[in-house]
Amino acid sequence: MRELIYDHNKPYYIAVCKHGFGVHQIPAAAIRLAQTEVPARSRRSQLLVYESLEFVKPVGFKDGAPQWPNGTRVKLVGLTNTHQLYVQSMR
């Protein structure tokens, strides 16, 4: 008989743009935290959303992508922009 393995640990979502980042266990909250780092008069730019099983912060932003500490495993799960409102849907 196969066992179902259910991990009760909620992942962390890391929203990253060239101006800053936000980390939260709710994707929309992570995006909003990152958007608070963006100056009001800046141009629209990409905002990448990553998922990780551990709390992690990017160490920089280079060539359009965040730089992560060595050995950190993150997965890209979304893409939006710095000036768009994000509404999380319930699936």
**How long a stretch of residues is the chain?**
91
**Centroid of chain to Cα 87:** 14
**Tens of pLDDT, residues 30-83:** 999 999 888 888 898 889 999 999 899 999 878 878 889 987 889 999 888 887
Q: How confident is the model at residue 7 (pLDDT cuts 50, 70, 90)?
A: low
Q: Residue 8 pLDDT > 80, yes or no?
A: no
What's phi and psi for 32, nearest 5 deg? -65, -40
Can you give the pTM of this predicted structure? 0.80
Pair of tokens at residue 62: 């280079």
CA distance 21 to 59: 10
pLDDT at 5: 58
Q: Residue 1 pLDDT > 50, yes or no?
A: no
